[in-house]
Amino acid sequence: MKQLILTLREKLEKAVKRNIASCLLFSGGLDTSILAALNSAARAITVSLGSFGEDIRYAGYLAQRLNLNHYHRTVSIDEAIDSIPEVVKILRSFDPAIPNDLVVYFGLEHALELGIDKIATGDGADELFAGYDYMQRIDDLESYIQRISRNMSFSSNNIGKFFRIKIIQPFMDKEIIDFALQIPVDLKIKKYNGKVCGKWILRKAFEDVLPPEIIWQDKRPLEYGSGMTKLREIISSKISDDEFEEKKKLYPINFMNKEQFYYYKIFKEVIGEIPRPKDDEINCPGCGAGVGQDSFHCRICGYVLSSDIYRKGGDK
């Protein structure tokens, strides 16, 4: 196991050198902290909604320790809400994950203002090293990771194209993907100090490089760490119960909540109709859009497809 940990570290060091960037979207979470430690010459951008969220505390602390050139982009509530139509248009989606995407949007917008045309992200680490909490409840996690590794896509790529900024993803380097798929899942999810941790082997690989409060911190989704989750209650309050109940009957969409309906209204205005499935796609049960056979969620509405759909060969 010790050799496996050392090899993972060596491979990541080489992957960062192969995928060098002069700037980093920096949340202060485990993944971007590793990238910052391996490329401390890069500038780092952290985004927060006002003073909400924990990211700026972790990012500020590590930036000081690593002597990073650190930028903090503070976003107002009005700015964030006013930018939602642009993000919906870029992603062609009304996925409830929009608050996560807003973090990337404002980070890349700030990078553009700084004259940066290439920026690194921590995309792929959670998928490959079992960083998400829900992965701890999957029976055949190894097969699941194998499947998602063939179909990984990130909103940062589309937002990067919009700003004409190249997105660098060291964790998505082919050597890292191939090596990660060989690592047993019981080394990805493992107990530490009595607590179950995702990305255990990734944490161990950099345990002597980063302080323990960074290495063993809990997983924070972008929306929580940045404080963008605050937008959810604000957006939901813009839709009355009567309007929501009326429109749920009008549209053939299984809306998850008022917030998603708010995004859909914008989608309908800036994009138009939901694209229908192609011959090689299945029907999304959430919105009727086409979903790839190997996909686990709908990129249009964010509906999470169950494994039953795939076993049945899809719902045409």
Are both 127 and 157 inside the same structural domain?
Answer: yes
State how far the Cα of 116 lies from the Cα of 262, in Å rounded to an integer: 33
Q: Please indicate, yes or no, whether residues 148 and 257 belong to a single structural domain of this protein.
A: no
pLDDT score recorded for residue 308: 37
**Together in a domain, 276 and 153:** no
- Quote the domain boundaries for residue 262: 237-311
Query: Do 184 and 63 reside in the same domain of the chain?
Result: yes
Q: For position 26, what pLDDT does the model report? A: 98
Structure tokens at 79: 């700015």
Whether residue 231 is contained in a domain is answered as no
| Domain boundary pick from 226, 249, 271 | 226
pLDDT digits 0-9 by tens, 92-104:
999 999 999 999 9
Task: Tokens for 244, please give them.
Answer: 């929501």
Contact 290, 281 (CB under 8 A): yes
Are residues 247 and 139 part of one domain? no
Task: Kindly state whether residue 232 falls inside one of the protein's structural domains.
Answer: no
Q: Are 128 and 249 in contact (CB under 8 A)?
A: no
Are 205 and 270 part of one and the same domain?
no
CATH number of the structural domain spanning residue 214: 3.40.50.620
Residue 134 domain flag: yes
Q: How many domains are there within the chain? A: 2
Of 204, 226, 248, at which residue does a domain stop?
A: 226
pLDDT in tens, 1-48: 899 999 999 999 999 999 999 999 999 999 999 999 999 999 999 999
Domain contains 23 = yes
257 and 221 share a domain? Answer: no
What pLDDT is recorded for position 117?
95
Are 114 and 25 spatial neighbours (Cβ–Cβ below 8 Å)?
no
Measured distance CA(216)–CA(191) in Å, rounded: 11
Q: Which long-range contacts (CB under 8 A, 24 or more apart) does 155-161 make?
A: 155/91, 155/97, 155/100, 155/101, 155/104, 156/25, 156/104, 156/108, 156/121, 156/123, 158/90, 158/91, 159/87, 159/90, 159/91, 159/101, 159/104, 159/105, 159/108, 160/108, 160/119
Q: What is the pLDDT of residues 149-170, one digit of tens each?
A: 988 889 999 999 999 999 999 9
Query: Are 135 and 222 in the same domain?
Result: yes
Please check whether residues 201 and 251 belong to one and the same domain. Answer: no
Residue stretches of the chain with pLDDT short of 70: 306-316
Q: How far is CA 70 from the centre of its chain?
A: 21
Same domain? 48 vs 164 = yes
CA distance readout (Å), 259 to 104, 105, 303 = 19, 19, 14
Give, rounded to a whole angstrom, the gap between the first and last alpha carbons of the chain. Answer: 46
In a domain? residue 81: yes
Distance of CA 111 to the CA centre of its chain: 18
| pLDDT at res. 306 | 61
Q: Which two tokens stand for residue 70?
A: 């650190």
As a whole number of angstroms, the distance between CA 163 and CA 137 comes to 37
Q: Which of 191, 207, 226 is a domain's end point? A: 226
Q: Name beta bridge partners: 191.
A: 196
Residues 75, 115 share a domain: yes
Tell me if 283 is assigned to some domain: yes
